Structure formats: C-alpha cells, structure tokens
Amino acid sequence: MRGDGGSGRLDVDVVVVGAGFAGLYMLHRLRRAGLSARVLEAGGGVGGTWYWNRYPGARCDVQSLEYSYGFDDDLQQNWEWTERYATQPEILRYLEHVADRFDLRRDIQCDTRVVGAAFDEETATWAVRTEAGERFTARFVVAATGCLSAANLPDIPGRDTFRGPTYHTGRWPHEGVDFSGRRVAVIGTGSSAVQSIPIIAEQAAHLTVFQRTATYSVPAHNEPLARDRQAEIKARYAKVRAANRQSMAGFGALSGLGPPQHAMAEVDAGDRDLLLDQRWQEGGLGFVAVFTDTLAQPDANEVAAEFVRAKIRGIVRDPAVADLLTPTQVIGCKRLCVDSGYYETFNRPDVRLVDISSSGIEAITPGGIRANGEDHEVDVIVFATGFDAMTGALSRIRFEGVGGRTLADAWREGPKTYLGVAVAGFPNLFLITGPGSPSVLTNMVTSIEHHVEWITACLEHLRGGGHRRIEAEPEAVDGWVAYVNTVAGLTLFPTCNSWYLGANIPGKPRVFMPLPGFAPYDAMCADVAAHGYRGFAIGQPGAT
C-alpha cells in the first residue's frame, strides 16, 4: 500500500484524512462504490473528537439517538444507548463498534499524521506525506479532519514555567487524571469547561476558574435512557432521521416541543415565560428554538437571554458571583452550553471564580496563575481553551494546489470554499463539513452523512464520465462566500467574539465560517449535483 515516491502510480483512489465520524463513514461509502481508499489517522485509534476529548464529564450535547449514524438500519436498531446524552466513552465504544462491524480497520492506518499533500497537475493526482515520511499517491483526497480538532493552547507568558502538570481538554490523557487533594485551575468557561468543572470541583481540594467571558448554559436533564422510550423511537427511526434532515439544525425531532412556531413579538408577554420555561425544563440546545427569531432579532434574543440570566441569579447564592457569571452578549452567539450542575458548582466553598475579562491572565508562574495582580497558587492547570476551529486542522497540513499555491495562502483573508466542500485551485480535494457549510451549527453527524453521500455521488459521477479531475470554479467560490456572509448577516451570530468568527485565535481573520441552516443547504447541494455539478470545472485542464 505504501507509495513509490511519485512515479505516478496510484496507491489508492482516495486518501481520507481522519478516522472520526466523517472518515469512518467516508471509507465505508467509498468501498461500497468500488473505490479503494486509505484512511490516515493521527490518533492511536479511531474516534476523532471522541478519541481525544476524554476530559471528565465529556459527553455529547445532542441526544444519543440523534447523534449517531442513520445510514444503516441494522446498526441503529441494534446499538443500545444507555443515556439520553451519551458520554465520551460510550460514543467511542460506538465508533469502535462501527469500525469492526463494517470491517473498516484494515484500511485505516493510525498513529499517522498527514503533514502535506501536493497536487500534480500532469497526472491529476495528490501526493500525500506523513510525519514519518511515508508517501501515498491518490486521485482524490478527502479531508475528514474535524471542525474542532486543532487544540488552542494560548500563548500566555510563562506558560512553560509551571512546575505542575497541565492538560488541555482536547488532548486528555487516556489514563485519566486524579485531582484528589490537588488545587486545580481551569482556564476557560466554554462547553468543555462547563462539563468538566462540576466534576473536577467534586474531586479537587480547591478549584479556581478563570473566566474571560461568562457563558449561557442550559440544563441537560440527562438521565438513563429507558428501554421502552428507546424502542418507541427506534420503531419510527426513519421518520426521525428524515425530519432531522429537513430541519435547520439536523436535530430536534425528539423534542416534545417541536420547532419554534412564533416570533417573539407574536407571543403575549404572559406566555413568553411559559414557553421559555418549557424549553428550560426540556433542557439542551433546543432552548434557543423558543421563538422563530431568537437568533435573528435583538429584542427576541434579549427576552430569552434575560430568562437565563434570571435563572443564574436564582441558582448562584452570592450575588457578586452571580453577577460575574451572568453573560451580557447575545444568547446563542457563542455556542450555547449544556450542563449538569454548572452554575450550582459556584455555591461550593472550595470553588472560586476569577474574572479576567478586563486584562486576561497576566502570567503563569512556577507556582500558579497571576491575574489582576493576584497570585493564585495551584498544583494543576486545565486549559479548557478550545480550538482553532474549522480551519485549524486543515491549515496544519501543507496542501499545495495548482501552481504550488498553499491552502494557507489561499485562505490568508479567511476560508473560501464552494458549498463548504471544495476550494478553487485545489482540484480533487474534498472537505467534509468544511467552512462555508452548516457543520458546527448542526448535529455534526447529520451534516457528515450528508457530505459523505454527496461526495460519494460526485466521485461516481466522475467515474461514470471517465473524468479524473474536478475543481471548484473561482466565480462559484466567490458567489458562495458572498451567500454565506449574507445569510450570516441576517442573524445575530456575527455580533460577538466567537470561535465561529475565529475571534478566539489571535491574528486569525474575522470571517463567519459556518453557514446557518441545514435544510435549505442540502437542497442547494442536491441542485448543484442535478445540474451536472454546476460551479465545478470537470475533466480539465490537461487531465480528463
């Protein structure tokens, strides 16, 4: 299977980079289409996000019965989920089961980090390089690299002088971490922090949380999944999956409350709290679906935001701490968090919240963290500081397209794609859930299945026509980037410093990267395919 250093002979039809939800399903579909493939995975096993993110409390914010593959009815009928929201170990077991069930492992090479890929215009092939110096030649490359896989470890002065252990939530040690008797610092208050803080607080001698921006969190109301509830959903699984595929976010079919019915202004003031309370009681990400315009109209958003702020003030006993925990930005602008006892944790006498909103962390010292002129002595630091989202994993690979231009250069002012799957100047390269697609604003599994199926159909189309080359046209890319900006501009998403905008990474161009709305998007992709892959140049130049 190993490459021969560029003689033009193909090792495989397709190299897939990454063996998470996207890479596993991509491999399965490629095989079924009769194409040969090799999956190259940096991790020591399959699972992607669920291989790396082993921090305490890690679980999915989308319900298990929705956050799972729908492509195989036997699989979805046979697999038994144990909780409403699955834990990281359970999701990893599921993905390992999928790898075994479909005999995928023989084409997956783990511990193999892809560092570069160069397109050869003469042969219309990619030469893929790994960190260990292996080379693979393939007609196509599919980047199944994940939207949230490049960990962001902020460059805080003195970071490497700390004398105790440090951990990033997205690179958690497999053997786990014992916090008992330790003084722990957590930096960050996004989803990973919100999930891990209550559990770390239970174990640690003392916990200090460093908060730059207060976060909105809605209760998960996680619980064991009753057998009869699971059986009832499985009996109508096809309908559940179909409903999610026609929804804005790729999930929500299990909600007893359904999609939003009314704009905020259409609801009597007295009924608004009732609707909000129903969503709060149901819990989870569906909270923002309370009004049709929660994410579009400032007034509607403020009503939902103020409801959560009142909840925070009701839960947190110390008014000064409650104040610090109360967010001021638009709700849903940064990804909503889902928790089990997050705000309650700050009622513990052994937990302290440190506000670093005005001047950040001054320094990490050998003995702890300095902020606001105060030294906080700690034994362990947990970086819950997120990811270089959507573009980070791609830009860490040196993709060289037509004329040797790198992807990093092509995206210097922000990512530019067509449909979120293709890039002008990078023929035969496909992105799964790339920037410009709904991806992180949806149930990732719904978006992944959609892209994998679309890419597979495209490859079959090329083979049917005897074509060896496909490339997004620059005009199509420009049109798509403009469209994504227009849609994002109709929402409140661009109004805060979120990772959706790249705002968490110093120097990263500020561009709203995902496209809001799954349902109209999938129809647009189908339309492009139905019109002979409109916006793509197929079979030229040089190679048909």
Q: Which stretches of the chain bind ligand N01, using CB under 6 A?
A: 59-61, 148, 154, 169, 187-193, 195, 212-213, 335, 356, 360-361, 384-387, 440, 499, 504
Least Å from the CB of residue 308 to ligand N01: 16
Report the distance separating Cα 197 and Cα 208, nearest Å. 10
Q: How far is the CB of 243 from ligand N01 (least distance, A)?
A: 21
**Residue 333 or 470 with smaller CB distance to ligand N01:** 333
Q: Contact at 8 Å (CB) between 36 and 13?
A: yes
Residues written for the chain: 544
Residue 164 CA to residue 417 CA, distance in Å, equals 43
For residue 498, the minimal CB distance to ligand N01 (Å) is 8
Residue type, 201: A
Q: How far is the CB of 503 from ligand N01 (least distance, A)?
A: 7
The residue nearest ligand N01 at its CB is: 190
Nearer to ligand N01, 195 or 447 (CB): 195
Residue whose CB is less far from ligand N01, 127 or 440: 440
Residue 59 or 508 having the CB closest to ligand N01: 59
Nearer to ligand N01, 112 or 169 (CB): 169
DSSP string of 43-84?
Answer: SSSS-THHHH---TT-B-SS-TTTSS--S-HHHHHH----BS
Shortest Cβ distance from residue 361 to ligand N01 (Å)? 5
The residue whose two tokens read 């079924």 is: 32
Q: How far apart are CA 327 and CA 339, in angstroms?
A: 16
- Kindly write down the DSSP assignment for every residue of 98-162, as one continuous string: HHHHTT-GGGEE-S--EEEEEEETTTTEEEEEETTS-EEEEEEEEE---SS-SB-----TTGGG-
Q: Which long-range contacts (CB under 8 A, 24 or more apart) does 312-320 make?
A: 312/343, 315/343, 315/344, 315/347, 316/343, 316/344, 316/346, 316/347, 317/347, 318/346, 318/347
CB-wise, 89 or 541, nearer to ligand N01? 89
> What would the DSSP string read from start to end of 460-485?
HHHHHTT---EEE-HHHHHHHHHHHH
Give the shortest CB-336-to-ligand N01 separation in angstroms. Answer: 8
Q: How far is the CB of 332 from ligand N01 (least distance, A)?
A: 11
d(C-alpha 488, C-alpha 483), whole Å: 9
Q: How far is the CB of 61 from ligand N01 (least distance, A)?
A: 4
For ligand N01, which is the closer residue by CB, 94 or 119? 94
- Select 41 or 61, whichever has its Cβ closest to ligand N01: 61
